[in-house]
Each structure stands twice: as structure tokens, then as C-alpha cells.
Amino acid sequence: MGGFFFKSKNPKELVAWYGKHLGLKTDDYGATFWWKDKDGNDCSTQWSPFADDSTYFAPSEKQFLQNFRVDDLENLLKKLSEEGVTIVGDMESYEYGKFGWILDIEGNKIELWEPIDKVFQ
């Protein structure tokens, strides 16, 4: 799991609440959870509230978005496209990884992330 994103009436207030009452180490984006993969590499999972009026989850009308960590995103997107899976937009690359988006059979938008975890350390 790369992350869990959801809509909130007041993301900043909610992040502060989770920091105060549940002890999450939070920043402007939510909280980052660090863990080790099977090879001992540092990995991260992000928990982030988004504003209610965010369009980031579109075309899904759900109040949440799942993010899955993947390897070789470019080839995965090609394979999914060949299997008839709906690809949303184009793959995007940033210093912290590559992103692609798909829709599941119920129209839920899913973010796929090929991470570069060392950028966050």
C-alpha cells in the first residue's frame, strides 16, 4: 500500500487532530509511515486528507483514493491497457517517483506509484 487519501471538510484541522490525539508525526500533507520491504529497503506509505472540493480523485465520485506501490509502472500500464483496464491520463514522473491512474470495474480511481523512497528521508 502506497497511501490512503480521502476527502475532509478541514484537512489541516484533521491532520492536527491526528497528530495531537493519536501521535502521528504529521506535516502539511498528512503522515508518512516508514517500514522495510522484504529486502530491508526503507519504504513509505502516505496517509493524507484532501479538501472536500478536490478534483484529484476524478473521474471517481468516491471520497477516497487508494495508492498502490508498484514496480515498473510503464510496463504495468501497458499490460493493464492491453487487458482492457481504463487508464486515466498519462503517466507522470517526479523526483519521488512515477505515477499512473486506472479505474477499477466500479469506477474507483486507483493511483499506481513507482516510488523513489530515498527522496523522503
- Cα 30 from Cα 49, distance rounded (Å): 7
Instruction: Walk along the chain (121 residues) and give the pLDDT tens digit of each residue.
Output: 899 999 999 999 999 999 999 899 998 889 999 999 899 988 989 999 999 999 999 999 999 999 999 999 999 999 999 999 999 999 999 998 999 999 999 899 999 999 987 776 6
- Cα 28 from Cα 20, distance rounded (Å): 14
**Positions of E strands within 12-96:** 26-27, 30-36, 42-51, 64-69, 86-94
- Cα 116 from Cα 44, distance rounded (Å): 9
pLDDT at position 114 is 95
pLDDT at position 117 is 79
Intra-chain end-to-end CA distance of the chain, in Å: 18
By CB atoms closer than 10 A (0-12, 13-18, 19+), residue 38 is exposed
pLDDT at position 121 is 66
pLDDT at position 13 is 94
What Rg value do the Cα atoms of the chain yield, rounded? Answer: 15
Task: Indicate the pTM of the whole model.
Answer: 0.84
